[in-house]
Copies of this chain bind each other. A is one copy, B any other.
Amino acid sequence: MRNIKIIIEYDGTNFNGWQFQPHHRSVQGELQRAVKQITGEQVSIEGAGRTDTGVHARGQVGNFKIEKEIGLPELMKGLNAVLPDDVRVKSIDEVDMNFHSRFSAKERRYKYYMVQHPISIGRQYYWYYPHELDFEIMKSACCLLIGQKNFRSFCLSRAEVSHYICEVRKAEWYEKDGAMIFEINANRFLHNMVRTIVGTFVNLGRGRITYDDLLSIMEKEDRRVAGFSAPAEGLCLEEVVY
């Protein structure tokens, strides 16, 4: 038995998210079908992060176990040959049998991309938000997120998790090539967490809430008090660290 780790990039536009669903197009479903086609083996590929419908990934990680004796470059080439063009295997590796893409992960890194000017090229990967924002206050409020904090206010209530503590190691807004980017790294993320943080920060930048409101949203640990969820198309799982 061999344990294969793959790094996957996908354009989430036309996927109903990562997770396999019998009647919808999912990244996991496409990958499992491709592995079956190349190796003849029915595998289960868990992802390090279960991205929602429309969310993209540049560095999703999955692993699966196969018997087949096939070279890694050959396997990667085969998978990319049968995968649809909105999902690509970027790298492949044979790893220890204990490696698990989700449970072995130590950190996930997400970026959220916004633009304030009209775009057509790459519009699938940005949230276009034309209204004026106080970007300085958005930048300075990021420090509130850092550390081991309870993110229940930023978690979809239907999520089933044992606790809401995440350790955020990096959180910052910056500008690059005319885009506004929010970068956040943490040991774990709750369902819808990044998009709700972005929506809440946009409320802050718009002046709908104050810095003190943001503080109290964090402390209330109640999803109903936070902001709206920013659109899926701006979000991208950039990297998973092991």
Task: Write the residues of chain A forming the contact surface with B, with a CB cutoff of 8 angstroms.
Answer: 9-11, 56, 58, 80, 85-90, 117-123, 125, 236
Q: Are A9 and B120 in contact (CB under 8 A)?
A: yes
B residues less than 8 Å from A125 (CB atoms): 121-122
| A84: nearest chain-B partner, CB-CB | B120
B residues less than 8 Å from A120 (CB atoms): 9-11, 85-88
| SS of A interface (majority) | mixed
B residues less than 8 Å from A89 (CB atoms): 118
B residues less than 8 Å from A88 (CB atoms): 118-120
| A58: nearest chain-B partner, CB-CB | B121
Q: Are B10 and A121 in contact (CB under 8 A)?
A: yes
| A57: nearest chain-B partner, CB-CB | B121
Complex CA–CA separation, A87 to B56 (angstroms): 23
Select A119's contact among B9, B118, B236, beta carbons within 8 Å.
B9
Given that A80-B118, A118-B80 are known contacts, is A123 also in contact with B90, CB under 8 Å in the complex? no
Shortest distance in angstroms between A66's beta carbon and chain B's nearest beta carbon?
A: 21
B residues less than 8 Å from A56 (CB atoms): 121
Complex CA–CA separation, A121 to B80 (angstroms): 14
B residues less than 8 Å from A10 (CB atoms): 120-121
Select A11's contact among B9, B58, B121, B236, beta carbons within 8 Å.
B121
Complex CA–CA separation, A56 to B80 (angstroms): 26
Besides A9-B119, A11-B121, 10 new A-B residue pairs in contact (Cβ under 8 A), listed by A number: A9-B120, A9-B121, A11-B120, A56-B121, A86-B120, A86-B123, A87-B120, A90-B118, A121-B125, A121-B236
B residues less than 8 Å from A80 (CB atoms): 118
Complex CA–CA separation, A58 to B236 (angstroms): 23
Complex CA–CA separation, A74 to B96 (angstroms): 61
Shortest distance in angstroms between A14's beta carbon and chain B's nearest beta carbon?
A: 11
Shortest distance in angstroms between A125's beta carbon and chain B's nearest beta carbon?
A: 6
B residues less than 8 Å from A117 (CB atoms): 90
Complex CA–CA separation, A117 to B91 (angstroms): 10
The 7 closest A-B pairs by CB, nearest first: A88-B118, A11-B120, A88-B120, A86-B120, A9-B120, A11-B121, A10-B120
Complex CA–CA separation, A125 to B236 (angstroms): 18
Complex CA–CA separation, A85 to B233 (angstroms): 14
